[in-house]
Copies of this chain bind each other. A is one copy, B any other.
Amino acid sequence: MKFEELPLTEAEVIKLKQLCLEARSLSYSPYSKFRVGCTLVTSEGEFISGANIENASYGGSICAERSTICKAVNERKYKFKVIAISSDSQEAISPCGICRQFIREFGKEIPILMFGQEGNTHELMNLEELLPKSFGPSWLGVPEA
């Protein structure tokens, strides 16, 4: 997926980057000390941010992407123009498989924007590229979002 295909204005891209980097400050990650921030843009153009929330039982941890989508869905937002993530790593971090699966429920085409190096670099792929041949709602007879 190419950057120009993102349905955002230049100003929106700048805002997205800033909010996404700031979102890391929301992280509760006393176990991994690996902060991840996420900002998504809804189909109506609203920006919603979140971060990873870890748990003493590691398996109970919820990553930034899922945590942020929970916030969005609880505000009745189900359609996303883009989901952006950032971390303290120099390289662009990518969503884990659990989050790719969680995002998949809301669409195959969602662009995922991954920031590296304080936002100076990035990678862009859509969900289908990150989770090819995905297992989704239609497998269980549920309509796709």
Contact = CB atoms under 8 A, between A and B. Distances in A.
A57 interface: yes
A94 interface: yes
Given A55-B102, A130-B132, A130-B133, A60 B140 contact: no
A104 B60 CA distance: 11
A60 B59 CA distance: 6
A66 B61 CA distance: 10
Nearest to A143: B30
Contacts of A49: 74
A104 to B, nearest CB: 7
A3 interface: no
A67 to B, nearest CB: 4
Given A66-B62, A70-B71, A123-B133, A140 B98 contact: no
A108 interface: no
Nearest to A64: B74
Interface in A28-67: 28, 30-32, 34, 49-51, 53-63, 66-67
Interface of A: 26, 28, 30-32, 34, 49-51, 53-63, 66-71, 73-76, 78, 89, 93-102, 104-105, 123, 125, 129-137, 139-140, 142-143
